[in-house]
């Protein structure tokens, strides 16, 4: 069985990973995930090639202000992202987010889910399913990215990632994604509302 992507496991955390919940914490980025006193469960991952930045933006958002911004200035292949682990039972699920893109050539904004065979997102979890959706506009306006799938038998948890990705052909220059209003609906929930 495949092992969870090495990029997720390469990050060293100062604190233990919070246990996954059936709901997303701070899905609207109403508060700063980095400086919040209460756990928000959003973790940030910077590409080892440097140049990346993940910050909370209090002025940009959809439908209201507050978003998680991801950007990178350097050239070449890079992946910087916010991620959160959630509980997931076998069965149908829908994941969506609003994203505002202002991208250089050979860069994209991506919503990705990695479904795992354990009830948490530890290093021994096996990968059962990966699905993603990428931006189709690049005008700083918000659009919705959505993933609808069926979690396979033995699903226990999933990584949800909000990614700024560059290919090896990307040139230097700032490029960013503002992510907001992450909606999560699975068989563990009665509706797509949360918090």
Q: Mind listing the pLDDT tens digit for each residue in 118-139?
A: 998 888 899 999 999 999 999 9
Residue 194 has pLDDT above 60, yes or no: no
Residue 150 located in a structural domain: yes
Q: Residue 56, CB half-sphere, CA atoms under 13 Å: how many?
A: 17
What total of structural domains would you count in the chain? 1
At 126 the pLDDT is: 94
pLDDT, tens digit, for every residue of 168-187? Answer: 999 999 899 999 999 998 87
Would you place residue 3 in the very low, low, confident or very high pLDDT band (cuts 50, 70, 90)? very low
pLDDT, tens digit, for every residue of 65-86? Answer: 999 999 999 999 999 999 999 9
Residue 161 has pLDDT above 70, yes or no: yes
Would you place residue 17 in the very low, low, confident or very high pLDDT band (cuts 50, 70, 90)? low
Classify 33 as helix, strand or coil. coil
At 44 the pLDDT is: 84
At 186 the pLDDT is: 84
Residue 124 located in a structural domain: yes
Lowest-pLDDT range, 36-40, 113-117, 176-180, 188-192? 188-192
- Domain with residue 87: its CATH number is 2.60.120.260
Pairing type for strands 67-72 and 175-186 reads antiparallel
For residues 17 and 84, give the distance between their C-alpha atoms in angstroms, rounded to a whole number.
9
Residue 194 located in a structural domain: no
Residue 193 located in a structural domain: no
At 4 the pLDDT is: 35
67-72, strands of its sheet edge to edge = 52-57, 67-72, 175-186, 91-102, 142-151
Runs of H (alpha helix) within the chain: 6-10
- Retrieve residue 123's tokens: 């290093």
At 51 the pLDDT is: 83
For residues 36 and 98, give the distance between their C-alpha atoms in angstroms, rounded to a whole number.
22
Range of the domain at 141: 6-13+20-186
At 47 the pLDDT is: 85
Residue 56 located in a structural domain: yes
Residue 1 located in a structural domain: no
Q: What would the mean pLDDT of 161-168 be, rounded to a whole number?
A: 96
CA dist list (Å): 187 to 15, 125, 141, 155, 178? 30, 21, 32, 12, 28
Residue 195 located in a structural domain: no
Residue 85 located in a structural domain: yes
Q: What are phi and psi of 15, to 5 degrees?
A: -120, 160
């Amino acid at each position: 069985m495949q092992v969870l992507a090495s990029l997720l496991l390469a990050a060293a955390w100062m604190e233990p990973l919070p246990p996954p919940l059936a709901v997303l914490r701070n899905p609207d980025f109403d508060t700063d995930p980095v400086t919040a006193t209460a756990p928000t469960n959003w973790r940030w991952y910077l590409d080892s090639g440097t140049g990346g930045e993940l910050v909370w933006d209090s002025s940009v958002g959809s439908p209201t202000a507050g978003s998680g911004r991801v950007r990178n200035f350097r050239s070449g292949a890079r992946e910087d992202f916010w991620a959160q682990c959630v509980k997931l039972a076998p069965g149908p699920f829908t994941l969506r987010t609003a994203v505002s893109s202002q991208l250089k050539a050979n860069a994209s904004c991506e919503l990705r889910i990695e479904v795992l065979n354990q009830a948490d997102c530890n290093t021994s979890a096996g990968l059962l399913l990966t699905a993603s959706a990428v931006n189709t506009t690049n005008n700083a306006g918000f659009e919705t990215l959505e993933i609808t799938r069926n979690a396979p038998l033995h699903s226990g948890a999933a990584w949800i990632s909000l990614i700024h990705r560059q290919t090896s052909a990307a040139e230097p220059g700032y490029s960013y994604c503002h992510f907001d209003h992450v909606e999560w609906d699975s068989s563990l929930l009665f509706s797509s509302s949360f918090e």
